[in-house]
Amino acid sequence: MLLNISDSSLLIFKNFKNIQFWVGLCSVLLAMLFYNCIFFNRYFPITEGWFSAYAHLIRSGQVPYRDFYLFLTPLYPMQIAGFQALFGESFIGLRILGIVVILTLSLFLYLIIIRRFTPLVSTVSTVTAMIYYQSGVAHITYDFIQLFTLYALAATYLIIRYSENICIGTNSTNKYFAPLLFFAGVMVSLAFLTKQSNGSLLVVFSIFAVIFSTIGVSRVFRIWNILSYMFGMLLPIIFTSIWLYIVGAFPTFMDQVFFGAIASKGSMGHILFSWMSLVNKDYLRQLLLILVYLLPLFILSLIGTVIATYKVNSSSGDSRIKDSYGILIFFILFISVVAFSYCGTDIFNLSSVAHNRELANYVIVVISTALITALMLSLIFHRFLLGSVSFSDRTLGVTVVMAIGLIFGNGTSAGLSEVSVFLGFSLALAYLMSLPNVYGIVKVVIIFICLSFILFITSVKFRQPYVWWYTSVPDVRTSVTPSKLPLLSGFWLPPETNELLESATLVIKEHSRPDDDVFTFPNIPGFYLLANRWPKSKVVVSWFDFLPDMPARIEAKRILTTPPAVIVNLKLPETTWMVHERLFRQGMPLGQRDIQDAIEILTVQNRLYLLEFSRELSPGLVLEIWHKKELI
């Protein structure tokens, strides 16, 4: 192996009765709860609410694909619809749901890392990786990508537990571990039903992980267990397909989710591989360079694996006590760092924040992917050249394969970013803190670096919690006024944000009736919910990589033929259009250009509308609300 951690240490910390395990777990969950509670209700971008709008339509009796366009698999909007049915459409409920999702993600990440590392190392690496995971510029805690990642981590954990049981069991008992793989298959299936492009790649890599975890099992039981996994993976898909067929939406589902989604992204090749260019054009060169630098360590560690093993301190009781104290000290320091980050508004220069965040993310992406690639090569070497796969190799192998699956899977939606590499980042931190003969000051320095990184990331997050294609929200520390909108009850927002949302919502409601046709463009369907005014169309979201060209051009003809009562138009800078056309249409015009032209014809050329509201949200980004002259 690249880095050898004793199997006996794994067995020690596998026992959930150890007090330091629970101290670490509680510290992780309390740290994430504290961090999220600071600002979960203190920002609201106008682009939020895509799937809440879909969920509202579902609860109104409409069927996805048949009654409105939906170019991804149906599980996530159906889940949001179910949540709304229980708790209402308030956004604060979804934000609380998001905290639960983050806590569950943290739980599974901790359970995965601790299979191989000590509680102190697992706590530090989990907390740091989860803070990094949430540092994305367009991170919404309850978004579909979070649910997808949650299912992926749950599947990873279940496959790891299966591989551990296989190692300590016998061929006569291995058949009883098949339910673990069955439920792992269910989790992978739920991931696919959340996002098809991400999920398809996760399916492929999870199959590799399952095959790896069954090495050494007799052929009969291996086939039985793999079939259990496949059955678990197929079952939710079969049920979903039957439901779609019964409601008459299966043909349109196939057309929109597969052919339509591919068309909106440009091509299948673009979906699968274009994410590599989203970080930096020389990413692969940097990756190969780091792998070259890791090669001597890789070779030496293989030699070291043969001639020596890493010895655990025989004073296990003292070690456990030290671990518990270390976890508590780290937790206290984390709380102090986050509190200082929130109170210290001028810690980092605003002009350098965006650049430094991008640089930090780039460095983490390169190092983390390089490490897990090296680990994968190490495991392949062990399996095919040394002919052995140890107990700890299985745990590591499953984790590494699934980490690569997350990189490829989430890469199709978010590129090489925080949600893609956080599992590899957590592994990298854990290995760095667990290197043989690394004690005392070195470990303290690593923890200090993690806390410094957390200070930077949280400070950036508080200052700019959301920014996406020129849409951004102010510093959460300026959120001092409660929202008066019913669906935003429980939110405290900056005065200018509250005024914008309340004024825009009021204009829409005053100049339309509940049964009137209202049209928002291109990425602000949240106003449908806030104003309770809805389009008489199958198009809910018109965003560039979310709606293919043909439906967009049909929608342009629709609004020209039957002009809506109100048009809510978020005018984007031309660079946004050009970038998406370059990324998804090879420089050719987007179909949404026709919608843009149709709005221009209706409002400016034909003068059928009055401009009731106009607000520049950022340079080049203007929100306009037009209403028909003859109405009211």
Quote the pLDDT of residue 274: 53
Residues 438 and 548 in one domain: no
For every residue of 555-615, DSSP letters joined together read: HHHHHHHS--SEEEEEEPPHHHHHHHHHHHSTTPPPTHHHHHHHHHIIIIIS--EEEEEEE
pTM, rounded to two decimals = 0.86
Question: Can you read off the two tokens belonging to residue 79?
Answer: 């889940």
Q: What CA–CA distance (Å, rounded) separates 12 from 258?
A: 47
Considering the domain boundaries, does residue 510 fall inside one?
yes
Considering the domain boundaries, does residue 171 fall inside one?
yes
Considering the domain boundaries, does residue 144 fall inside one?
yes
Residues of the domain holding 19: 7-468
Residues 19 and 143 in one domain: yes
Total number of domains in the chain: 2
Residues 517 and 422 in one domain: no
Quote the pLDDT of residue 456: 84
Residue of 614, 592, 596 lying closest to 605 (CA atoms): 596
Residue of 308, 377, 399, 403 lying closest to 116 (CA atoms): 399
Residues 351 and 233 in one domain: yes
391: Cβ–Cβ under 8 A, 6 or more apart, which residues? 7, 10, 164, 167
Considering the domain boundaries, does residue 485 fall inside one?
no
Q: CA angle, corner 114, sides to 227 and 298, nearest 5?
A: 85
Residues 12 and 128 in one domain: yes
Residue 23 identity (one-letter amino acid) = V
Residues 512 and 459 in one domain: no
Order of all β-strands in the sheet with 566-571: 518-521, 566-571, 621-628, 609-618
Considering the domain boundaries, does residue 474 fall inside one?
no
Residues 58 and 103 in one domain: yes
pLDDT along the chain (632 residues), means of 10: 42 59 94 96 95 96 94 95 96 97 98 90 95 90 95 95 67 64 96 91 91 77 87 96 95 86 55 51 51 51 43 47 79 88 65 52 65 66 55 74 83 72 88 66 75 86 90 92 96 96 96 95 96 95 90 95 96 92 85 95 93 92 91 46
CB atoms within 10 A of CB 345: 14
How many angstroms separate the Cα of 457 from the Cα of each of 343, 358, 460, 621?
Answer: 14, 11, 5, 27
Question: Can you read off the two tokens belonging to residue 187?
Answer: 């989790």
Inter-axis angle of helices 316-343 and 119-133, to 10 degrees? Answer: 20
Quote the pLDDT of residue 169: 47
Residues 368 and 272 in one domain: yes
Considering the domain boundaries, does residue 220 fall inside one?
yes
Q: What CA–CA distance (Å, rounded) separates 16 from 554?
A: 58
Residues 513 and 463 in one domain: no
Q: What CA–CA distance (Å, rounded) separates 341 from 343?
A: 6
Residues 93 and 180 in one domain: yes
CB atoms within 10 A of CB 331: 21
Q: What CA–CA distance (Å, rounded) separates 403 from 379?
A: 14
Among 434, 468, 502, residue at a domain's last position? 468
Residues 447 and 585 in one domain: no
Quote the pLDDT of residue 360: 58
Quote the pLDDT of residue 310: 41
How many angstroms separate the Cα of 339 from the Cα of each of 447, 480, 493?
Answer: 18, 18, 20
- Please return the burial class of 411, using the count of CB atoms within 10 Å of its CB with bins 0-12, 13-18 and 19+: buried
H or E stretch at 521: strand 518-521
H or E stretch at 409: helix 391-414
Question: Can you read off the two tokens belonging to residue 269?
Answer: 């090749």
Considering the domain boundaries, does residue 479 fall inside one?
no
Considering the domain boundaries, does residue 588 fall inside one?
yes
Question: Can you read off the two tokens belonging to residue 54?
Answer: 């879909």
Residues 499 and 460 in one domain: no
Among 401, 434, 468, residue at a domain's last position? 468
Q: What CA–CA distance (Å, rounded) separates 155 from 177?
A: 14
